[in-house]
Amino acid sequence: DSGVTQTPKHLITATGQRVTLRCSPRSGDLSVYWYQQSLDQGLQFLIQYYNGEERAKGNILERFSAQQFPDLHSELNLSSLELGDSALYFCASSAGGWNEKLFFGSGTQLSVL
């Protein structure tokens, strides 16, 4: 168990809908990251938050947004969902957000039908 908690584990929804994925980092970690894993794109970095502030952005679509709350948990919001958004979404955390070991949650499997 990495100590990073993600909910829900599975999510099935329809095109055009909006969903929210939730992540609680390891105790004491200030940085939260979101990654997407799909068959065609592999594992891709989406976005990073450090102590409530957005710190780095990767290949995140404009339809997607995230935030980190004062208690350090994070939410990834996916809207106007398309079939191609079906993927495994991982949250990860690290202590300070610099070059250090990254710990991943068990992921949320999103299926858009």
Residues that bind another protein (CB under 8 A): 2, 31, 33, 42-45, 48, 55-56, 58, 88, 90, 92, 94, 97-104, 106-107, 109
Backbone angles phi, psi at 63, to 5 degrees: -75, -10
Residue 36 Cβ vs another protein, minimum distance, rounded to whole Å: 11
Name residues whose C-beta falls within 8 Å of residue 93's C-beta, 6 or more positions apart in sequence: 3, 4, 23, 25, 26, 29, 31, 32, 33, 102, 103
- Quote the tokens at residue 66: 């995230």
Residue 85 Cβ vs another protein, minimum distance, rounded to whole Å: 18
Residue 79 Cβ vs another protein, minimum distance, rounded to whole Å: 23
**Beta carbon nearer to another protein, 49 or 81:** 49
**Beta carbon nearer to another protein, 50 or 78:** 50
**Beta carbon nearer to another protein, 42 or 70:** 42
Residue 33 Cβ vs another protein, minimum distance, rounded to whole Å: 6
Name residues whose C-beta falls within 8 Å of residue 69's C-beta, 6 or more positions apart in sequence: 52, 75
Closest alpha carbon to 31 in 87, 86, 104: 104
**Beta carbon nearer to another protein, 9 or 18:** 9
